[in-house]
A and B are shown apart, each in its own frame.
Chain A
């Protein structure tokens, strides 16, 4: 039986539940069922055999949790369990097929949990290699909730074996997986990764699955699998029960078969009867061929952006070109600044964010994946990975959780050769620039010709044109005025001829001219009317958004101008900048804790007094006052922190001012902070950070769950004098101890302060710290002592 040949043409039946059958066979719960392959092979064989007799075409090995993490307390290796499990199934299968079952690892991946993408990949790789060696016919990755985990597993399968790969995810009644992925996003991402079949299993009964499967069937271009539970699980007297009969189950399956699914099986609560019945109900029927049209989409893990319906905004602000502050942030590893840029753009209405960190002094290939992970942990819109370095692009695309947009490929043979394999492998979208070895052609016709070359070459790699956005390139009106219109004509040509979507870096047009905003706004409007789908712009500029919102009304995208009315109905107030209460001074603003006012007031003050005067006359006294109130329990932590954040806002303004004047910082010293390896509590550390910053210290924040080596490396690299470590669990304090040990063993001369709920002075001494900070205020005192 060659599954690749029949898939989608005949119904393929998988088996039903393994766990349910094991329990019925009386095996103890709480033990890892994978160990039964070794201890009770005959029971496992029996179960497989029953499913084969019931008519299953494919049986699934008893290896759901056979990964090195779950097996770590068993005396058997992953390879032992898997090879045994496959051989039992093989014996039972006869001429039917054996699917290597791969379930979730049992750990949540970062940033939700602590499991790294690469670690997950390695865990899956080991299972897959063992499975192929043992003779499995296909890989079934199932019951996955986290799209990111699915991606790690699929990549591991694709890169390490040649078997067909199926993947099913598990959804809740709200139509999303536990980590928030919707069915549409799942389809776009998994299809991109080159899966042979995809679908849903577990969690729900067939009735509840139906509306979700409907969405999948509307867009999927690969065969769809369904393996429901025997009904919605219900808690009865403290036990989980499933209440569908094989008949009702099969009726529902038949229903879904008529909608378009072609691969069928059962999950929790099902048994051979269910498979037998389902097969009977489908006798004489054949799967419906899915004829879905491909769309141009990019996805985060929880959101799909379809390009081409209305205008989509690509935010351009994370790009150091011409941005002093971002450059500074990148050099100092100040990820918070980058994150705040991401958040601001998203809140302003960006649909996709461009991420470019190209600075000569930065190791882009290392930094880019790190930043991508940080941003995708906070912001839920898709990212556009922007780099001139192929390795950087691949590293970033690999760890991106979703379907990314790559910026960019161009018509040069070399560029296409290096970028297209990445686009194909990771199922990304890519921006194609209309330039080649001869540069940017003057005429629209010539640019369209390059676009055609890009589209055709992509197709030879198996990349559909729907995954390409053409950028017809903007030249500056100040230098090449006569070519501005050519860009616009090219957009129209490209769209008409090749039916592809387009993007454009709009603001280039105004370089070298005054009042760039005005030029940009008008050019944007022109480009949109020529058919631009996804402009790359600064979404924080009101003028850009106004143009787009207006265009959406005039182009009949925004039906009944609903969105426009929502936004602009009450806009009269927005026009006037907020007036400050003139009497309120900065000190009072800080005590009240109002960030925006603090920033504005500081700007005002900078006109009349020096930064140092602001710090000494306003910030420090306000901080002292607030600190005293906190100590006396007149105010509490939330208020203390609010004031601290207000001071920070004021500091930001001062720093920016100094940067503009070309003066150096007023830093009192640099402190490294980290929540130790294994620990993920970072609120406490964040509080310490903001207080230290308030008192004029620079903080290099490594985040949470920080590997020991990284603390050592960064302490060295930045010549840190004071390191602050935090741990909140009895179980992670040991990692704190090891981190301290590693710093000492590397002969780094620095002081170490520690803090966290489970620590005290005694313990701090014992693990070799120099200081114990009982709270955030104490850490300031320590820092002041160290940097005196």
Chain B
């Protein structure tokens, strides 16, 4: 697991500003600690997809995605990978623990955990890329519930389809919060030519208001790759 300190700083709001030595040290210990305790687990599965009436059907399953943005994202895709990843609840427990004895550290620990889960997702994405290559396909970026008009209510459906509770202990609350907290579900398209579909503007993104990338004058990977 590779944890990029720059990303951690970005989550903490230090956009390219210098950090004090104490914070710096705490970040380093948090990175070490996460590496030691995180018990990350993942599961993914690749499905052929069919598209009809602006809907996406996952073959052999009863799952249907209805979302314009996701449809655009998978425009050239023949298959898609459904992916669920979690850092496990020991990390949640640690964040809770630190929030009682050292709030500042819990904040940093939280940011490090977020960075860690993103980096694991990147690694899995690489695996999927290799599989796609075998079929002569390219992959799209990850797309998760909550992006654009793709609602969070797909969380439990994806979890169920992947049997992710049994396999990796991932669940969603009735309000669609993933538990363990540091978890991601995502969809990656497998397409025969790299798509150049443009993401609908940031304005349509559900992260829009709080987007940590925009604050930085930057954009997320997704936006970057779809410009």
Chain A: residues with CB nearer than 8 A to chain B? 19, 28-32, 104, 106-108, 111-114, 143, 145, 170, 172, 174, 178-180, 202, 233, 235, 237-240, 336, 339-340, 343, 377-378, 592-593, 633, 635-639, 641-642, 644-645, 678-680, 682-683, 686-687, 690, 729-732, 735, 757-758, 760
Contacts and interface: CB of A to CB of B under 8 A. Distances in A.
B220 interface: no
Interface stretch (B12-20, B69-77, B115-123, B193-201): B12-20
Nearest to A734: B175
B150 to A, nearest CB: 13
Given A112-B89, A238-B128, A731-B176, A635 B160 contact: no
Contacts of A143: 166
Given A645-B103, A731-B152, A179 B131 contact: no
A202 B103 contact: no
Contacts of B179: 107-108, 112-114, 680
B209 A179 contact: no
A758 B208 CA distance: 9
Given A238-B46, A636-B12, A683-B106, A145 B169 contact: yes
A638 B175 contact: no
A757 B210 contact: yes
Closest 8 CB pairs of A and B: A238-B46, A178-B169, A30-B61, A30-B62, A678-B175, A642-B104, A731-B175, A641-B104
A364 B75 CA distance: 61
A730 B44 contact: no
A636 B14 contact: yes
A686 B103 contact: yes
A26 to B, nearest CB: 9
B60 interface: yes
A489 B200 CA distance: 82
Interface in B37-67: 39, 41, 43-46, 58, 60-63
A561 B176 CA distance: 52
B39 A172 contact: yes
Given A112-B180, A730-B206, A30 B107 contact: no
Contacts of A760: 209
B203 interface: no
Interface in B71-104: 81, 88-90, 92-93, 95-97, 99-104
B169 A179 contact: yes
23 contacts: A30-B58, A31-B62, A107-B173, A107-B174, A145-B169, A174-B39, A178-B89, A180-B89, A235-B43, A238-B81, A336-B100, A339-B100, A377-B93, A378-B93, A633-B17, A638-B104, A639-B23, A683-B107, A686-B99, A686-B103, A690-B103, A730-B152, A731-B176
A630 to B, nearest CB: 10
Contacts of A690: 103
A104 B13 CA distance: 39
Contacts of A635: 20
Interface size on B, as a range, is 35 or more
Contact of B22 (A336, A642, A679): A642
Given A112-B89, A687-B103, A690-B103, A678 B174 contact: yes
A266 to B, nearest CB: 15
B204 interface: no
A604 B89 CA distance: 42
B177 interface: yes
A237 B131 contact: yes
Given A593-B104, A641-B104, A730-B152, A682 B99 contact: yes
B110 interface: yes
Contact of B175 (A178, A378, A639, A679): A679
B59 to A, nearest CB: 10
B184 interface: no
B167 interface: yes
Contacts of A106: 165, 171
A645 B97 CA distance: 15
A633 B62 CA distance: 50
B44 A111 contact: no
Nearest to B90: A180
Contacts of A378: 93, 96-97, 100
A680 B103 CA distance: 16
A113 B157 CA distance: 18
Count chain B CB atoms within 10 A of each CB in A237, A638, A641, A683 and give the residue with the most. A638
